[in-house]
A and B are shown apart, each in its own frame.
Chain A
Amino acid sequence: MPLLSVDRCTVAFGGLIALDAVSLEVDQGEIVGLIGPNGAGKTTVFNLITGVCRPAKSRTATAEVEVEGVPLTPQQGSRKRMKVHYGDIILAGESIRGKSPHIIAARGVARTFQNVRLFPEITVLDNVRAACHVHTTNSLPAALFRTGSYYAEEHDIEKRSIHLLHVFGLGKFQSAPAGSLPYGEQRRLEIARALATEPKILLLDEPAAGMNPQETRELTELIGWIRDDFKVSMLIIEHDMKLVMGICERIYVLDYGEVIAHGAPEEIRSDPKVIKAYLGEE
């Protein structure tokens, strides 16, 4: 059973079909790439998985269902003659479709954003500590009266956060406002913050954007090391082909909201459909 599976999901913005019955899977411990030309819908896939965008009714899949004659899920099947469905998103055996973003995050999906989105005016340490919030158990009164369990938990959060910052080489910035960090460090902090939520799967949206070749090489190493050390699966959107081909075990190619190819890096590299999508030839 895959860790994450997106099953025939469609996302529409008004009339624009940004994703058309997209399916993809990520296995436990796997690093999967998601590539495609600008505007293909890659970021929308992340927004779909994290609950920022809700899946729309899908026409394509309805046709599929009629052809196959099998209902997609038991609930949908119990309604007479299925006309529409919303696809499904399964994480570790449970559906997360239609759940709020914070619940999906708590279930184990963490992400970074294409344009880094830190909490700029609070400290680097507090950025990470804020992300530890999801697993805290202390009540508000415990915090207001500073009970023993409050101190214990806060101490634990601080220790874990400082450790994470050191691991990411950000220890010396700990008390600086996050927005004051150099760009590369901001990107790394965003990954550290995502890992603070203790995710099962980490979604990285163009982590190498704006980095020079040296930084990209370091990032590539970092990603492999994160997978081994934090035991997380990863889905990575990236335009840097060297990075993608270098670390991804499988790659999905998206074009105009549809998955046009998927497979191992070597297969993708030589797939005529992919070459056509990228070069835009007739």
Chain B
Amino acid sequence: MKGNRRHLPTVAWLALMAPVALALWAAGSGLESLLVPYYFRIILLSGIAVIAAVSLNIVNGFTGQFSIGHAGFMLVGAYASAGITMFARPFTESVLRSAHVPDVMLMPLQFAAAIAVAALAASIVGLLVGLPSLRLRGDYLAIATLGFGEGIRAIFVTVDAVGGASGLHNIPPLTSFVWVFLGVVGVIITARNLAASTHGRALFAIREDELAAQAVGIDTFRYKVLAFLISAAWAGVAGALLAHLDLGIDPRSYSFMKSVEIVVMVVLGGLGSVTGSVIAAVGLTWLPEILRPVAEYRMVFYSALLVLLMLLRPRGLFGRKELGLADLLGKKKTVPNANRKEGG
């Protein structure tokens, strides 16, 4: 269907994309100097929202498990990354210096390590939460993940070493356009490549009919945990980027409401559609800014828009569809007609 690109390993594809990334980096830096910092910040926030939404979609959309504790994983990632860039900094810096790493590379390397640690920490917590709770179904799973999200926040708030209720401050400003861009590309590739593979089809099968999935040999529990793990890892990345953009961690902003916001992005974009999650995440990040002139009625507009969209497009903006390069170039896929009857 996609000609030669089909047989290109992702690594090779990324190498080909390098010039594009470089151009984008230049554009990003240009953007940064051109735009009012305020708007530039919203661009970065949109990117972070995309990472959060697409990763949640792997659990809620691909696998059909309803999790509403995503902010909890972001918080774990935020603290873990801050631990590297703040507390472990003297140590990592001395290690890097003794390895004769040039000074300009010191911070980027530390931040890369911080993001990796954030992903790892969040996925470990994901495993710890997923193992017991993924045996639950539907509402029960939702409640368990909600409880986890609030619980993890409560734990951090009581630990004075990480600032207690007032959170962490003075986190170095390391989140730049390039990091966010890399994160966005990374999460989209993860989700799309997963979806196209046999592992992704195992997740879809679980969403569609768990009993039938088992009957064709899919280890449904293992795959639910796996989806949870991948999703949590990327939430950790989003948390790391957010902490180094906000230059601090306020535990209050990683509350249940934050989790709900991400769920809304996923549902609005279309459960299972990566394209939908991307567009809804960007849209919902900009919407409050666009509605700023009518500040008092902002929440009214926001809610009304959500209700309207769900009425007009009950399965989200994109349903389960994806927009690929081929669609953008106007190539039509030939889908044979079957007499479609919509199920209730």
Contacts and interface: CB of A to CB of B under 8 A. Distances in A.
Interface of A: 50, 52, 100-102, 105-106, 110-111, 113, 117-122, 126, 129-134, 136, 138, 140, 143-148, 150-151, 153-154, 157, 172-177, 179-182, 193-194, 196-197
Contact of A146 (B8, B216, B336): B8
A120 to B, nearest CB: 6
Contacts of B338: 173, 176-177, 180-181
A147 B9 contact: yes
A145 B339 contact: no
A153 B198 contact: yes
A112 to B, nearest CB: 9
A31 B6 CA distance: 43
B175 interface: no
Contacts of A157: 198
B211 interface: yes
Contacts of B6: 151
B317 interface: no
Interface stretch (B38-46, B87-95, B201-209, B291-299): B201-209
Interface residues of B, number: 42
Contacts of B190: 144
Contacts of A134: 216-218
B19 interface: no
> Which 8 A-B pairs give the minimum distances between C-beta atoms?
A134-B217, A176-B338, A143-B197, A119-B208, A105-B217, A101-B214, A131-B216, A117-B212
11 contacts: A120-B208, A130-B204, A132-B198, A133-B205, A140-B226, A145-B10, A146-B10, A146-B13, A172-B336, A173-B336, A180-B341
Interface in B151-199: 189-190, 193-194, 196-199
Nearest to A194: B216
Contact of B199 (A106, A118, A140): A140
A132 B216 CA distance: 8
Nearest to A148: B9
Nearest to B335: A175
Given A101-B215, A196-B216, A174 B336 contact: yes
Nearest to B8: A146
Given A100-B214, A105-B214, A151-B7, A133 B193 contact: no
Given A144-B193, A180-B338, A136 B198 contact: yes
B340 interface: yes
